[in-house]
Structure formats: C-alpha cells, structure tokens
Structure 1
Amino acid sequence: MNTYDLARGLHILAVIAWMAGLLFLPRLYAYDAEQQSKSEPLKSEMQGLLRLWQTRVLRIILNPAMILAWVFGLWLIHIDVSARGPGFLAEPWMIAKLSGVFLLSGWHGFLSAQRKKIAAGTSKYSSKFWRMTNEVPFVLAIIMVLSVTTEWTFG
C-alpha cells in the first residue's frame, strides 16, 4: 500500500460519514418543523428528542467527519502537488471539486447555525424548505466525484 492510496481511502471514508450527516440532519430539521402543528405535551417531548438527535448528529458525526475530510483532502493535495506540481490545482476538474468542497462546507456551517436557531425557536424555515434542500449535498457530491474520477478539461 502506498501513501496516496491510504490518504485516498481515509478521505473517502470521511466524506461518506460527512455526507451521511449532511443528508440526515435536514431531515431531522423537517421533522422538527412539523412539530409546530402538534399539541402539547407530545410536541415538547418529540421536539426534545429531535433536538437531542440534531445535536448528536452534528457533534458526533458531522463536525469530526468534515474535519477529517478536509485533513485527508489536504493530504491528498500535498501528495499530488509533490507528484504533479501545483498546476493541477488550476485544472477545471479540480476547480469544480474544490468549489464543491467550499459549498459543502458552507452548507455545513448553515446547518450548524440553524441548529442553534431551531433550539431557540427562532428558525424561519419550514419542513418544505428542509425537504427541498435535503438533496443539495448529494448533487454537489455527484459533480465532485465525476470531476475527480474523470479529470475532465475544456479541450
């Protein structure tokens, strides 16, 4: 086993965990938003449980997985820069990949901020919003994976 294969394998595992959290947390937010129409005490009990799950998904899965995905991704870039030179960072496929990483990181930050607003009861987003945006990370993942695996260019 070489270093590149190890870094790539660890990066893939971290990204899988990160994506799982990014796909699951908005669903929990949707369920939480649906509790607004319920009557007490079921509403309070269910929201308490949902908010506990939201916090755990964020702290136990999402945050560590994102950090590891970044660490192993930067390790891969370091290995590639050593082998190919820094020019590959300007290739269209790599720009698409890195753009996706920044967008996913921004979405992660948005989800983190929303957890606090949901807990405080100040979130303005509906269940419909969370269901509609739930697939955003997967669409970005499709673009990133196909960019990296095909290394497409213009011309």
Structure 2
Amino acid sequence: MSDLLALAYPWTKSLHIISVIAWMAALFYLPRLFVHHTEQAGLSGEKHDLFAMMEFKLANVIMRPAMHATWTFGLLLVFTPGIVDWTAVWPYTKAFCVILMTLFHTWLVIRMKAFQRGENHITGRQYRMMNEVPTVLLIVIVISVVVKF
C-alpha cells in the first residue's frame, strides 16, 4: 500500500491543493454572502430567497465536497511514507488549524440553515469580522507546511 501511495504522491498532492483552493474560495465567499444577505435582503421576500439559494448551492455544491476532498487527499498524504516529519511541530500546527477550519465550516453551515429558516442574530459587521478567520488559519497552515518549523 505504501508503494502505491508513494507512486500516487504527485497526483495526491495536486488534488489536495486543488481541493484546498476550492474549499478556501467557498469559505471566503459564504460569509460575504451573509453580509449582503443581512444588510440588503432581510429575512423574507424575493431577495432573501435568492440569497438563501445562492448560499445553499455554495455550501452544498462547492464547499462541502471540497472539504471532503481536502480531508481525503490530506490524509492520503499523511499516510504516504516520508512526507510528514512527526518529530517537527508543523504537522501538529497544521492539523490543529485544519480542525479549526472545519469547525468554521460547520459554523457557516449552521448560519446558512438559520438564514433559510428566516432567522439571523448576527450583524453584517460581525460577519465581516468572521470572514477573517479562514485567512488567519490559511496563513498559519501555509507557513507551517512551507517553512516546516
């Protein structure tokens, strides 16, 4: 099995990077949709329905599959011999941030479902602030993987 993982390494790494990019794009965009939903559409009417549909499709057609692909290809990389130095700090830093990113993803889905029910208690400004969470996590993840401290 380890020989197969080593042979597939360039493909696995490529697919991991592609899925991370798709996941991050959705994690950046969904909170922005929430800002505009909150500030321009309200919780009922045609604009609300349009935003709810856009949020639903982003979360379920792009964000969720991209997260699953990111985790799948990431775990395949972890099990590929010689890729991860478990004596270093970076794999643990990256893993912690990926878990936080997954929790942020889950929070966004919870917020999306609240909007669909016509409920929201968070302001546009708060969504703007939350939009910085994936950026900070991405910075830590990339530095961890590239610098390998």
TM-score of the pair, normalised by structure 2: 0.89
1:133 offset after TM fit, Å?
Answer: 1.2
Tell which structure's C-alpha radius of gyration is larger: 1
Structure 1 unaligned spans of 5+:
none
2:103 to 77, 102, 106: 106
Structure 1 residue 3 corresponds to structure 2 residue 8: yes
Structure 2 partner of 1:83: 82
| One-letter amino acid of the counterpart of residue 12, structure 1 | I
Deviation at 1:91, TM superposition (A): 2.3
- RMSD in angstroms over aligned alpha carbons? 2.0
The structure 1 segments of at least 4 consecutive aligned residues displaced by more than 2 Å after TM superposition are 35-38, 88-91
Q: Size of the alignment, in residue pairs?
A: 144
Separation in 2, partners of 1:121, 1:52: 13
Change (3 A) 1:15 1:37: closer
Quote the residue 2:50 is aligned against.
Answer: 49
Residue segments in structure 2 that go unaligned for 5+ positions in a row: 1-5
Percent identity over the alignment is 33
Determine the C-alpha separation between the residues in 2 that align with 1:89 and 1:30. Answer: 40
Q: Alpha-carbon deviation of 1:7?
A: 0.9
Farther-moved stretch of structure 1 (49-58 vs 114-123): 114-123
- 1:23 equivalent in structure 2: 28
Report deviation, 1:64. 0.2
Match of 1:32 among 22, 34, 37: 37
- Cα gap change, 1:37/1:104 in structure 2, threshold over 3 Å: closer, same or farther? closer
Distance 1:51 1:59 in 2: 12
